[in-house]
Amino acid sequence: MDRRVVSPQPLSLLWHARRVLVDLWDRATTTQPPLSWQVSLLLGVLALLVTWSPAGYRLVRHLVTLIHEAGHALVGALVGRRLTGIQLHSDTSGVTVSRGRPRGPGMVATVLAGYPAPALVGLGGALLLGQGYAAGLLWALVLTCALMLVLIRNLYGLWVVAATGASVALLSWSATGTVLSAAAYLVVWSVLLAAPRAVVEVQRQRRRGARGSDVDQLARLTGVPGAVWFGLFWLVCVAALVLGARELVPLP
């Protein structure tokens, strides 16, 4: 009689993979008490110093651009456009390429999504932190990076997304609850503070004669002056900053 011995290794690997996924889910859904308003305010001041220093802003700007392009990609997919790739560049700029009708509401919505995306993500992050989901916020960032890896089409962008995702994943896996919360607060503060600066930056470039930004594309697509779109982006970012700050610093 032919007796075949089934190796237990595949079953063992599946069991370990299941344990890892369960552990990840537990870590992502475990809540931590929100930080005190004094500590949150201190982290906000630290984030302000970082985002408004040349070297610090350049670092945070990569994260803002990553979220900016993710916003283009998400809305483009939702309106039925075919995504062909995302590029992130060393000068902190980026581009998302999609196929579909060159004009119309879908194209307008896709272009419109970029600059408000970091501000809205920051506001959503502030709401999550208020509920104690600091770990969930950071793991959501890791998941976003993992999904974007499929769409990245240049080496520098691949390095930025992979390094961001790996760093946040390592921190989320190994840090204590207090360190995790502090890191999440710092990320959210940084994104909220950097989003309005990115909008002001694009307007400065337009005044120097640069054309081709989201503001200029929207002006061409809709006939509405670029200054109106700049004002809309700026108001959204500032409103998100104010509302997010109220969530992050719940004064007694």
**13 has pLDDT over 90:** no
DSSP class of residue 99? E
Token pair for 141? 């960032």
pLDDT digits (tens, 9 = 90+) for 93-141: 999 999 988 899 999 999 999 999 999 999 999 999 999 999 999 999 9
Average pLDDT, the chain: 89
**11 has pLDDT over 80:** no
**Helix H or strand E segment including 98:** strand 94-99
Q: DSSP for 70-97, please give it.
A: HHHHHHHHHTT-EEEEEEE-TTS-EEEE
Name the nearest CA neighbour of 48 among 159, 240, 193, 230. 193
Span 45-49, average pLDDT: 95
User: Of all residues in the chain, what percent carry a pLDDT higher than 70?
Assistant: 91
Backbone angles phi, psi at 85, to 5 degrees: 160, 160
70 CB contacts (<8 Å, ≥6 apart)?
117, 144, 148
pLDDT digits (tens, 9 = 90+) for 169-211: 999 888 888 899 999 999 999 999 999 999 999 888 888 877 7
Higher pLDDT among residues 145 and 11, named by residue: 145
Residue 8: its pLDDT value, please? 55
Residue 6: its pLDDT value, please? 46
- Partnered with residue 152 across adjacent β-strands are 86
User: Of all residues in the chain, what percent carry a pLDDT higher than 90?
Assistant: 73
pTM: 0.89
Residue 194: its pLDDT value, please? 96
